[in-house]
A and B are shown apart, each in its own frame.
Chain A
Amino acid sequence: MADRFIEPDTPELRARWGNFAWTEANAAKAKDILSRYPDGRQRSAVMPFLDLAQRQVGAELNTQGWLPIPVMEFIAAELAMPVIRVVEVASFYTMYNIAPIGRFHVQVCGTTPCMLRGSDDIIETCKSRGMKKGHTTADGMWSFTEVECMGNCASAPMVQINDDNFEDLTPERMNAVLDALARGESPKAGTQDPARHTVEPVGEPTNLAAMVSANHDYRSEW
């Protein structure tokens, strides 16, 4: 996260994105988003607009999408606000990509619970497939970052790839997910443990066991 910088504003960037405008479908969406905010508060739409723009750029490039400076200027003009305020928002939130990104953005959680459950192996798996932290592979397929807790500690370790979470990973399961993505399939999101549906206890419940079949009042036992 520390190595996150805005892509420099170059003439090539201007030439490529200088005439960015909403597609017809997105223009309708943008109008709908704007209508959610009261008059005079349209600037609040900057966050959904940035997301919409990032997705439109992604659709054009067949990647995760990112926000070139001219696109941010377009949004600032749409909302009649100073560009610097838009750039502040886009550079603050890490879900806005401010530099070009690959087809799949693999975000591996490396925070303590995931680490204890083997996220180091997941990171190793990614590295063995040619990914490098903070970089995109040469074929433009994989962007790899290590992130902090994503709130899936009950099914650690996990990765977030694009808009989906993949949990309960092992190196094999991780490879299977990445292979499927590479083939163009959409692997099942969520837990990758075949024995699990969501984040219910693995195997037998080890606590609150009496609650499994019926409601049970534990208070007398405390």
Chain B
Amino acid sequence: MPKVKVDGVELEVPAGATVLQACELAGKEIPRFCYHERLSIAGNCRMCLVEVKPGPPKPQASCALPATEGQEIRTDSEMVKKAREGVMEFLLINHPLDCPICDQGGECDLQDQSVAYGRGGSRYHEHKRAVTEKYMGPLIKTQMTRCIHCTRCVRFSEEVAGVDEIGALYRGESMQITTYLERAAHHEMSANVIDLCPVGALTSRPYAFEARPWELKKTLGIDVSDATGANIRIDSRGREVLRALPRNNDDVNEEWISDKARYQVDGLVRRRLDKPFLRRDGKLVQVSWNDAFAAIATLNPGNSIAAVAGDMVDCETMFAAKALVGALGSTLIEGRQTGMDYDTSSLSAVNFNTTFNGIETADAILVVGSMVRWEAPSVNVRLRKAVKRGAKVFLIGPEWETTFGGEFIGEDLSLLGGLPQHVADALSGAKRPAVIVGGAALGRGGLEAALALSGQFNLVRELEDGSAWNGFNVLHMAASRMGGLMLGFAQKGGIADLVAAKPKVLISLGADEVDYAKFADSMIVYIGHHGDKAAHAADVILPASAYTEKAGTYVNTEGRVQFADKAVFAPGDAREDWTILRALADAFGVSVGFDSFDALRDAMIAAVPALGVEGLADYGSALPAGGGSASGAIAYPIKDFYMTNPIARASATMQRCSAELLHGEEFAEAAE
């Protein structure tokens, strides 16, 4: 713990800290471009120069200099001021002064820092250099003349994403950042380089020229495109969501979000259900809310009613539906749309117990039936970090391109009953062993067989430092899954129980993946926001809100309870889901016990107290013994990363990504 002096104030800094970190601890702002907390240190922008004694009598790059005992650091001396002015002047020599037409304007590090630390004028009268634009795919717009060669994007794709495709070609003044042969960046986290870019060289292509940052209303939200519950900031103007950006949360998504989480938002204004519809003579016709409820009131289902929850609904919606179905005397509620029927009596057996932070520290990991890269891109980043720390990863399932190496040991679930010797040795020899069970392995006895491994390898244990370790993990894909399971949206036989009960009325809460042919005799009331698969099968469509249009509680696959706020109003006649369910209760002539959102939330928290506390819900560490045998080849459920939910399917950006990045279609670039 070296003691250093920053601008005359003495403080102790953690061992291994850099001078820049020491200055930050002292509350001093150090300007920087290339330095980023989550990337390796490059030290090439020179903006973080400070004066350090003892040392050579010249400014030092603080990001790359270790803090040592007795250092005297000055961030406010004349030398530092001049050094910063000089660096800024050099950076601006070749940077175009086109801020008025640059999309980064208003949130640009270079702009902000040149105002704060620059000298206010240039002495450079020669020609500036210009660099040709580089194609980086449908998500990243480039304007490489603006690039200041901080190499954050290069380091991100190499270190975090694990897909080496961006590099710096040529040298000196001719240096250019480009993807290999100007091919599109090809991974699920690619658009994070837009946030990393401190200037306007890499900007968002779908968001190009849409808005200035100061026009936008910023709302804190939770992403629903996968079950990781990434923390996002929803930027909206008027009634339209213009973009989603990641928020810092070290426990969940660190600083990254997947391309789908970022870019599916343009699907929120397309294919929307904004009017109630009734099926008359086989055709859906627009009606008013009154007519719709009048028609529903005549159904008179009694207790022959069931509800199925979609992948993106919030806990409040599910609780309201449960209350409605319960008030009518039915308990038929289910959230696992595709027919899975794994045992949910113990929630710790279907939870990501290790937590995302914990999985980074695991030293032997067995992934069963999960294409982690597509099912949970931010967990994939964590796995890569674990491997960098020396973890061994084994995977069961068809091979996919991992970004962290790992060994595929087979495709059949029966391997769970007889792991190859070297895998068993690695798991039993590990200090922090972990098993990750994906959606493709939950059925056919896979969960029970994996639970048996937990006993065999002692996955739940106390570590040497006395902390608890639970190495058993289930990686879900639906944002609503853990919340649904906490609310009891699971039947013993899965959705087959609902089919067998032949309900008169089936309430579908944005459930687009259900096989509705099996419910041919039921009246299907669809409460959802997109005219997708389920709307075609529905008899009544009640337009509801998407995740940006309602406040809600979400539980991610770790069992982490998180709250999201409402960013915009739903379009047209669409309403918030809970109000529709409340009105349905009136139509059916029953009482659900709440009249406001707050009352609904209170009732929900009274029923499931864990949903009221932000953070990890406690499911206990006891795991069922499991056992039995599993067999059958594993097939991953996601066939197209960009098309997994109705919002993404409606999004033009996601459609283009799917066509171009996954199906190899070529798009002519517009001449500019």
**Cβ distance A70 to chain B, nearest Cβ, rounded Å:** 11
- Cβ of A1 within 8 Å of any chain B Cβ, yes or no, is yes
* Contact A69:B170 (CB < 8 A) given known A84-B164, A85-B164: no
Main secondary structure of the interface of B (DSSP, over half): mixed
- Cβ of B613 within 8 Å of any chain A Cβ, yes or no, is no
CB closest chain-B residue, reference A3: B174
Report yes or no: B174 in contact with A1, Cβ–Cβ below 8 A: yes
CB closest chain-A residue, reference B129: A2
1/0 per position for B168-191, CB-CB distance to A under 8 A?
111101100001110000000000
Report yes or no: A83 in contact with B171, Cβ–Cβ below 8 A: no
The interface residues of chain B lying within 8 Å CB-to-CB of A222 are none
- Cβ of A82 within 8 Å of any chain B Cβ, yes or no, is yes
Report yes or no: A9 in contact with B181, Cβ–Cβ below 8 A: yes
Q: Which of B167, B173, B174, B181 contacts A88 (CB 8 A)?
A: B167
User: A interface, how many residues as a size bin?
Assistant: 10 to 19
Q: Which of B168, B170, B173, B180 contacts A83 (CB 8 A)?
A: B180
- Cβ of B525 within 8 Å of any chain A Cβ, yes or no, is no
Residues of B143-187 at the interface with A, using a CB-CB cut-off of 8 Å, are: 164-171, 173-174, 179-181
Report yes or no: B173 in contact with A2, Cβ–Cβ below 8 A: yes
- Cβ of A91 within 8 Å of any chain B Cβ, yes or no, is yes
Q: How many B residues have CB within 8 A of the partner chain?
A: 13
The interface residues of chain B lying within 8 Å CB-to-CB of A150 are none
- Cβ of A33 within 8 Å of any chain B Cβ, yes or no, is no
How far does the alpha carbon of A6 sit from the alpha carbon of B134 in the complex, in Å? Answer: 14
The interface residues of chain B lying within 8 Å CB-to-CB of A87 are 167, 169, 180
- Cβ of A4 within 8 Å of any chain B Cβ, yes or no, is yes
How far does the alpha carbon of A6 sit from the alpha carbon of B132 in the complex, in Å? Answer: 14
* Contact A6:B174 (CB < 8 A) given known A82-B164, A84-B180: no
How far does the alpha carbon of A92 sit from the alpha carbon of B174 in the complex, in Å? Answer: 10
How far does the alpha carbon of A57 sit from the alpha carbon of B181 in the complex, in Å? Answer: 21
CB closest chain-B residue, reference A6: B169
CB closest chain-A residue, reference B132: A5
The interface residues of chain B lying within 8 Å CB-to-CB of A1 are 174
Residues of B515-533 at the interface with A, using a CB-CB cut-off of 8 Å, are: none
**Cβ distance B343 to chain A, nearest Cβ, rounded Å:** 44
The interface residues of chain A lying within 8 Å CB-to-CB of B181 are 9, 69
Chain B residues at the A interface, C-beta cutoff of 8 Å: 164-171, 173-174, 179-181
Going nearest first, the 10 A-B pairs with the smallest beta carbon separation are: A82-B164, A84-B167, A84-B180, A91-B169, A88-B167, A92-B171, A91-B170, A83-B180, A9-B181, A2-B174
Chain A residues at the B interface, C-beta cutoff of 8 Å: 1-2, 4, 6, 9, 69, 82-85, 87-88, 91-92
Q: List 17 A-B contacts (CB under 8 A).
A: A2-B174, A4-B174, A6-B169, A82-B165, A82-B180, A83-B180, A84-B166, A84-B180, A85-B164, A85-B167, A87-B167, A87-B180, A88-B168, A91-B170, A91-B171, A92-B169, A92-B170
